[in-house]
Structure 1
Amino acid sequence: MSPRPILMLTALLVPALMLAACRREAAQPPSTSHANATFTATPEEARAIARDAYVFGVPMVDQYRQIHAYNIDRRDPLYRAPFNTLINFDRVFTPDDTAVVTPNADTPYSLANLDLRREPMVLSIPKIDPKRYFVFQLIDLYTFNFDYIGSRATGSNGGNYLIAGPDWDGPMPPGIDKVIRAETHLVTLAGRTQLFGPDDMENVKQVQAGYRLQPLSAFAGTPTPPPARKVDWIPSLPPDQSRTSPEFFNQLAFLLQFAPVHPSEKHLRDRFARIGVVPGGKLDVAALSPAQRQALVDGMADGQKEIESRRAAVTGRADQLFGTREELNNDYIARAAAAQIGLGGNSRVEAIYRTYEMDDHDELLDGSQRAYRFRFEKDRLPPVNAFWSLTAYTMPQQHLVPNPINRYTINSAMLPQLKTDADGGITIHIQKDSPGPGREANWLPAPDGRFMLVARYYWPKDALLEYEWSSPKVERVRGKE
């Protein structure tokens, strides 16, 4: 059995995570206007190449699924707007959002998928109260977190940030504070704005209203460039098919046309071409011999085993799996594992997540029979520059927990209301029923059954980054053995 997701999420995203629950049934097989690709490898060679191409392509194919849903397929229930449109999710998710998995109740999201082929886009940020954490994460089509805009990376004084694709070579225009260059033509911009509490939502909406995304020509008042080449956007593969169907390789080939070859990967692209994976090409899978088709399927299975092996080696923290190309050093298995653990996860310098499915007795968390505590010792609160939170989710659905006090998370913004222990520590009580009037301020309601916890630490300090401070254990305080 494969390990449970560690869920960096954050969600971008909401989009990527909602897809499994909301997708319509099967998409039609991909089709493009490009010439057919050729298959020159022997079946033995093809299996090894398919394994490597699958591991390489998993993040791209999964990323395209959310892009296609949100910005391309107007019939999809998740469709929001065309490319290059900033969408603000200006509310907190609740247990009624049953299609949303592991929602973050601390930072309402902003999202845009960018097509940078025509011209760069400019993201304008207003001046924001330094006490309110915000971040825009820039994710390329490979799913590298190639840059950041926000409290940590650029400060709270606002500015104008030009986001350019790989073909743009213009000078820095007047009024631009920073030029950010992407390796790929398609980029995801994932924003989060801190919410201090339910009564703070109107303030968050005002901040979000100040975010502005526009083409460079509109920002600079210059002529609009000619349109980019029209693309016949292919349907995305449903999650189950993207793990088993040879059409996966046509998805990858389609996406490679938006990702110019990095010098370190030319040899890989040359190998992929031997099984018909070429930028913009299409392999006629039906025309392959049974041995060739089986080689592709077997290669995908081999690649998935490698990914699951890496996932199994991660124990609660997967922060080393997310980052820039340089930080990951072309570790394709890590990149694929990260995509399957939690597409859109933050780099560790921005946020670290710790998930819990087991208590300190190595038993699954279960609110039907047990009560737990999560305790910060005196003067040992999480070492963060922004804030921390602890959120409970039902299992296996990974939804927020319905409860009588409508409390879905406990975070550092609530510290003035939390009760301290006699020794000065802080104990969070995690259980189905109220722990009593004297402890209810520190009560994080659990469901009547299995659940998981996610601790989020935003803008971690060195003590957390260097493992000098560890997230507490979930301690069982009562229940059947």
Structure 2
Amino acid sequence: MNPGRGALEPDAVTALAADAYVYGSPLVRQLSAVQACLQEGCGTLAPAPFNDFAHADGPATPGTHTPYAPADLVDALAQLDLSGGPVRLHVPDTGGAYYVLQFVDAWGNAFAYLGTRATGTGEGDWMVVPPGWAGTVPDVVSGVIDAPTSVVSVLGRLACDGPEDMPRVRALQQELTLTHLGDRAHRTGLPATEAGVPGELRFFEELRVWMADFPPAAADRAYQDRFQPLGLLEEGISPYVSAGPGLVRALRRGLALGRLRVEEAARPHTVAAEGSPGAWRMIPHLRDYNLDHLGVGTLGSPEWKIPDREASYLVRAVAARRGRWLPHGYEAVYAHTARDSRGRPLDGAHRYALHLAQPPPVGAFWSLTVYDTPGGHLVTNAADRYAIGDRTSGLVHGDDGSLTLHLSADPPADAAGAANWLPLPAGGFRPVLRLHLPGQAVLDGGYVVPALQRLGDGLGP
């Protein structure tokens, strides 16, 4: 077969290739990340084989080179391979402390959660089983997690109140274990793509191989069948090793158009579209593209599903582009801003105040962290303080219960201001407000985070 010839004109092949990029880029991004975690590690996490956890040494510090890493959570990460059978996951008793384990399939769908919100903080054992598994479930397990694909990422986040809290967290890390229960050996790596495919067609080759090994939900397969003229459904020898020049041109153009479509959709809204200058941006519904596999700890009500399946593909691609492993909005929402209340860019040369008449409504905790721009990294400060929130000891509230946080390079002169101080880096910065288990007012827009007020410039607040 010579895909792309005879059936479709070049412009139609280009348009189809753009659709294929939007549809398939989450799969390629997700499995490329899995492969990197197995071979090279992920951020501060060392590489780990399938069915084993990698643990961070602690929360993010200025030495952490992962952009926008949290300063009050400790990461855990495991890549599961279920091709040889189920895996048993043991979770420890965290004594009421917040944690979450998020399960993500090969297509980037968060399909299950364990932890504080979903299953509580007690000890338990869970079976993670591959698609179509029909074995016997032992009586001793807490439940079964049905995986939509045979490769799954498990993202763990454990709350940590600073260096003095790390012994407790390390004990939990030791108890967070995986045991392979299958009767066959599991994979040691991902299905290999064919050598000899030109670099400009590598995306389509990865999509071709990985679509076959990790099929999507049944409802997606009819849409996927559209890509037959591109060679994406070909089995055996890759059609891209010796693709004709016409097909190569159409695929290359389609790839560029698809990327542009995702980039355009991922652009932040303008200030005018968001409302007032300095408005905080949050997207609690960016993960609503999972329409088919909603397991333990997920919410399947209509407000958490995109009604248009084809539209969900673009949202999924944007989510994969912006933050591959972020959770659903009902687990956590992250708000950020780049400007003050007058629309001026944030800069550490100035002093700012964030006045919270009411604290953010959350079921777990909230915290504010600042990062440099454009890198998105923590910057060393003399106070060694990188996050402030409702777990910070010694915060000073107003008589009416309000809370004013002070953001500046140097500490405020008064004791109350110093207690509520978050140090700023020199130059541009971006604050991120993390809301864990956000209340309904956050999710429906009823709670609005106030804009940062720039102080001391002689122009008023």
What is the TM-score normalised by the length of structure 1? 0.82
Match of 2:222 among 263, 267, 271: 267
**CA distance in 1: counterparts of 2:67 and 2:164, whole angstroms:** 24
Match of 1:392 among 362, 367, 370: 370
Deviation of 1:298 (Å): 1.9
Asked whether the equivalents of residues 26 and 107 of structure 2 are also in contact (C-alpha less than 8 Å), the reply is yes
Deviation of 1:279 (Å): 7.0
**Partner AA of 1:276 in structure 2:** G
String of CA shifts for 1:313-362, please: whole Å, max 9, x gaps.
65621221114622245301101111111110110110011011121111
String of CA shifts for 1:51-79, please: whole Å, max 9, x gaps.
111011221222122211111469x9975
String of CA shifts for 1:391-414, please: whole Å, max 9, x gaps.
000001110121111111102111
Match of 2:328 among 317, 341, 347: 347
- Give the SS at the match of 1:246: helix
Gaps of at least 5 residues in structure 2 are 275-280, 292-304
**Partner AA of 1:293 in structure 2:** V
> Which residue of structure 2 lines up, in the alignment, with residue 28 of structure 1?
none
Asked whether the equivalents of residues 441 and 447 of structure 2 are also in contact (C-alpha less than 8 Å), the reply is yes
The 1:287/1:418 distance shift into structure 2, 3 A limit, reads same
Deviates more, 1:273-282 or 1:132-141: 273-282
Deviation of 1:234 (Å): 4.7
**CA distance in 2: counterparts of 1:95 and 1:226, whole angstroms:** 41
The 1:37/1:265 distance shift into structure 2, 3 A limit, reads farther
**CA distance in 2: counterparts of 1:215 and 1:473, whole angstroms:** 50
Match of 2:164 among 199, 202, 217: 199
**Partner AA of 1:157 in structure 2:** G
Deviates more, 1:206-215 or 1:390-399: 206-215
Deviation of 1:466 (Å): 2.3
Number of residue pairs the alignment of both structures matches? 428
RMSD: 2.7
String of CA shifts for 1:70-92, please: whole Å, max 9, x gaps.
11469x99751211111121312
Deviates more, 1:451-460 or 1:225-234: 225-234
**CA distance in 1: counterparts of 2:135 and 2:341, whole angstroms:** 56
- Give the SS at the match of 1:459: strand
Deviation of 1:269 (Å): 2.0
The 1:195/1:280 distance shift into structure 2, 3 A limit, reads farther
Asked whether the equivalents of residues 146 and 324 of structure 1 are also in contact (C-alpha less than 8 Å), the reply is no
Asked whether the equivalents of residues 40 and 47 of structure 2 are also in contact (C-alpha less than 8 Å), the reply is no
> Which residue of structure 2 lines up, in the alignment, with residue 137 of structure 1?
102
The 1:281/1:52 distance shift into structure 2, 3 A limit, reads farther
Q: Where in structure 2 are the equivalents of 1:369-448 lying within 5 Å?
A: 370-377=350-357, 380-414=358-392, 416-421=393-398, 423-438=400-415, 439-448=417-426
Asked whether the equivalents of residues 145 and 324 of structure 1 are also in contact (C-alpha less than 8 Å), the reply is no
String of CA shifts for 1:266-323, please: whole Å, max 9, x gaps.
2222112210112766645463333322221221222223222322365621221114
Asked whether the equivalents of residues 50 and 275 of structure 1 are also in contact (C-alpha less than 8 Å), the reply is yes
Deviates more, 1:341-350 or 1:312-321: 312-321
String of CA shifts for 1:218-268, please: whole Å, max 9, x gaps.
xxxxxx3355698653599xxxx99xx332111111221332242212222
> Which residue of structure 1 lines up, in the alignment, with residue 302 of structure 2?
none
**Partner AA of 2:158 in structure 1:** T
Asked whether the equivalents of residues 73 and 79 of structure 1 are also in contact (C-alpha less than 8 Å), the reply is yes
- Give the SS at the match of 1:257: helix
Q: Is 1:123 aligned with 2:89?
A: yes
> Which residue of structure 1 lines up, in the alignment, with residue 137 of structure 2?
172
**CA distance in 2: counterparts of 1:430 and 1:56, whole angstroms:** 42
Q: Is 1:225 aligned with 2:206?
A: no
Match of 1:255 among 210, 218, 227: 210
String of CA shifts for 1:193-225, please: whole Å, max 9, x gaps.
1112331111111122221111135xxxxxx33
> Which residue of structure 1 lines up, in the alignment, with residue 61 of structure 2?
94
The 1:362/1:307 distance shift into structure 2, 3 A limit, reads same
- Give the SS at the match of 1:365: coil
Deviates more, 1:307-316 or 1:325-334: 307-316
Asked whether the equivalents of residues 107 and 195 of structure 1 are also in contact (C-alpha less than 8 Å), the reply is yes
The 1:77/1:470 distance shift into structure 2, 3 A limit, reads closer
- Give the SS at the match of 2:230: coil
**Partner AA of 2:219 in structure 1:** S
Deviation of 1:480 (Å): 8.5
The 1:169/1:37 distance shift into structure 2, 3 A limit, reads farther
The 1:389/1:310 distance shift into structure 2, 3 A limit, reads same
String of CA shifts for 1:103-157, please: whole Å, max 9, x gaps.
1111101110111111111111122212x10100001111111110001001112
Deviates more, 1:76-85 or 1:188-197: 76-85
The 1:398/1:297 distance shift into structure 2, 3 A limit, reads same
The 1:346/1:172 distance shift into structure 2, 3 A limit, reads same
Deviates more, 1:416-425 or 1:103-112: 416-425
- Among the aligned pairs, what percent are the same residue? 31
Gaps of at least 5 residues in structure 1 are 1-35, 218-223
Q: Is 1:292 aligned with 2:269?
A: no
Deviates more, 1:208-217 or 1:324-333: 324-333
> Which residue of structure 1 lines up, in the alignment, with residue 297 of structure 2?
none
The 1:185/1:477 distance shift into structure 2, 3 A limit, reads same
- Give the SS at the match of 2:380: coil
- Give the SS at the match of 2:145: strand
- Give the SS at the match of 1:147: strand
String of CA shifts for 1:397-452, please: whole Å, max 9, x gaps.
110121111111102111x4112235431111111222224222211111110110
**Partner AA of 1:419 in structure 2:** V
**Partner AA of 1:357 in structure 2:** A
> Which residue of structure 2 lines up, in the alignment, with residue 58 of structure 1?
25
Q: Is 1:111 aligned with 2:77?
A: yes
**CA distance in 2: counterparts of 1:188 and 1:144, whole angstroms:** 10
**CA distance in 2: counterparts of 1:235 and 1:436, whole angstroms:** 64
**CA distance in 2: counterparts of 1:227 and 1:441, whole angstroms:** 52
